[in-house]
Amino acid sequence: MRLSGSLWRNIHARGVPSRYLANMAAQRPCHVTVLGEQYLTDHMTNISPTIVSKLPLKLHTQPSHPLSTLRGLIESHFPSYTHLSSLSPLVTPYQNFDLLSFPKDHPGRSVTDSYYVNKDLMLRTHTSAHEVEVFGRGETKWLLTADVYRRDEIDGSHYPVFHQTEGARIVSANSTGMKEIEEDNERLAAHLEQSSIEIEDVPHLSSTNPCQPAHDPKHTELIAKNLKLSLNSLMLHLFAGRVGATAQNPLKVRWIEATFPWTTPSFEVEVFFRGKWLEILGCGVIYQPTLDNANVSNKLGWAFGLGLERIAMVLYSIPDIRLFWSQDPRFLSQFKQGEITTFKPYSKYPACFKDVSFWLPEGQTLHENDFCDLVRDVAGDVVEDVKLIDDFTHPKTNRKSLCYRINYRSMDRSLSNDEANSLNAQVVSYLRDRFRVEIR
């Protein structure tokens, strides 16, 4: 989870819409079944049936799936690392946030941004949630690929479930560890020197991206350099072949300063691909208290986290993030494990939009993510995007009126106007039941 950039976009502090939760509580059964286990619900519960249905799917381990091939490609670049891909998505807020030094009031903790089974259990919002656990098992070089969950708006590049690969390396904080890093840096630098890559860099350390008090700046420099060299060479491995990088037309990679609660210095990496800078990953030198939490205080190192869908969308030319979830043989049969091929769109069926316009009860607000989850519960992947097209507060009564435009389009078949109408009628009825709105 990031504090800058657009991957983690809903960053504004927001209050919990108490009326919403009260309404949900009134209707909610006191148990919810997740991955075959029953859990008690409470005032924090907001996990929806659509989300629960995604948990067993693990697209990143389905043979031939583009996300599985991309995982394999990343793993093949780090052959000496331990490769993990089957950790449960259920974590405690303590693992997801506290062990990584997130402040108590971080907006990512709110029920509008994250999915909770109850106050003590949530769906991981990032693979970093497992850092302490994996380091604690004694792993020093590892990759972990997994599904992660964030409440979000609906459009062609956002989906409440996506996949990340976390990578990390730690070494002993002494001359032996530093020698290992120095030798590796020489090897990587020699390899990059012979490659068609152009790197726009930022200093390893600066006043805005400082060394940690617990670290010797010389050690941090070496670790940050190892991080940069390792990731620049991963970028070459993933992209150079695809852009046909040459000495005249090298692969362009740029480094930007960033902020994450559990790394400093921290960075983001972008790659120039088909005319655009693409955000690829966040990374940094691991904050020492994180390693202390894992009982490996005598080590230091780096970690990165990279979003798979974004990269797969450009490598395979997949135009809509919903396609990753398609069971349509016209999608799935196009791919072979280990091969990156250009997706051939089979058809774009007509879209059908419907507007939903309503008054909220006095004093009540409705978060866009709550509206989007409601629409997904009704229409699943038949909803292509949702846009707020009008937001009005009556000057006298202070009541709020909202109008959303919902674009219905199936990726697999033609949707009739009657079907869209009946989905929309269901959305309206849920809205009335859950939020007591008055349809305009």
Residues of the shown chain interacting with ligand PHE in the complex, contacts defined by CB under 6 A: 1-2, 7-8, 126, 128, 166, 260, 263, 282-284, 303-305
Q: Which is nearer to ligand PHE, 231 or 420 (CB)?
A: 231
Q: Which is nearer to ligand PHE, 124 or 219 (CB)?
A: 124
Q: Which is nearer to ligand PHE, 232 or 263 (CB)?
A: 263
Cβ–Cβ under 8 Å, residues 308 and 280: no
Taking the complex as a whole, the smallest distance from the CB of residue 364 to ligand PHE amounts, in Å, to 32
Q: Which is nearer to ligand PHE, 211 or 356 (CB)?
A: 211
Q: Taking the C-alpha atoms of 239, 240, 242 and 247 in order, what is their torsion angle to the nearest 10 degrees?
A: 150
Q: Which is nearer to ligand PHE, 1 or 24 (CB)?
A: 1
Taking the complex as a whole, the smallest distance from the CB of residue 162 to ligand PHE amounts, in Å, to 10
Taking the complex as a whole, the smallest distance from the CB of residue 1 to ligand PHE amounts, in Å, to 4
Taking the complex as a whole, the smallest distance from the CB of residue 345 to ligand PHE amounts, in Å, to 30
Q: Residue 323 class from Cβ within 10 Å (0-12 exposed, 13-18 middle, 19+ buried)?
A: buried
Cβ–Cβ under 8 Å, residues 248 and 262: no
Q: Which is nearer to ligand PHE, 1 or 420 (CB)?
A: 1
Taking the complex as a whole, the smallest distance from the CB of residue 354 to ligand PHE amounts, in Å, to 34
Taking the complex as a whole, the smallest distance from the CB of residue 12 to ligand PHE amounts, in Å, to 17
Q: Which is nearer to ligand PHE, 140 or 317 (CB)?
A: 140
Q: Which residue has the tokens 């690929």?
A: 145
Cβ–Cβ under 8 Å, residues 6 and 279: yes
Rounded Cα distance, 8 and 125, in Å: 10
Cβ–Cβ under 8 Å, residues 110 and 18: no
Rounded Cα distance, 52 and 30, in Å: 16
Taking the complex as a whole, the smallest distance from the CB of residue 100 to ligand PHE amounts, in Å, to 9
Cβ–Cβ under 8 Å, residues 97 and 106: yes
Taking the complex as a whole, the smallest distance from the CB of residue 236 to ligand PHE amounts, in Å, to 20
Cβ–Cβ under 8 Å, residues 32 and 39: yes
Taking the complex as a whole, the smallest distance from the CB of residue 84 to ligand PHE amounts, in Å, to 15
Rounded Cα distance, 375 and 296, in Å: 45
Q: Which is nearer to ligand PHE, 280 or 352 (CB)?
A: 280
Name the residue number minimizing CB distance to ligand PHE. Answer: 305
Q: Bin 102: left if φ > 0, else alpha if -120 < ψ < 50, else beta.
A: beta
Three-class secondary structure of residue 270 per DSSP? strand
How far from 235 is each of 199, 255, 419, CA to CA, in Å?
11, 12, 44
Rounded Cα distance, 83 and 61, in Å: 12
Cβ–Cβ under 8 Å, residues 243 and 315: no
Sequence-ordered list of residues with C-beta below 8 angstroms from that of 94, at least 6 positions apart, any chain: none
**Cis previous bond, 265, omega within 30:** yes
Q: Which is nearer to ligand PHE, 17 or 265 (CB)?
A: 265
Q: Which is nearer to ligand PHE, 166 or 370 (CB)?
A: 166
Taking the complex as a whole, the smallest distance from the CB of residue 13 to ligand PHE amounts, in Å, to 19
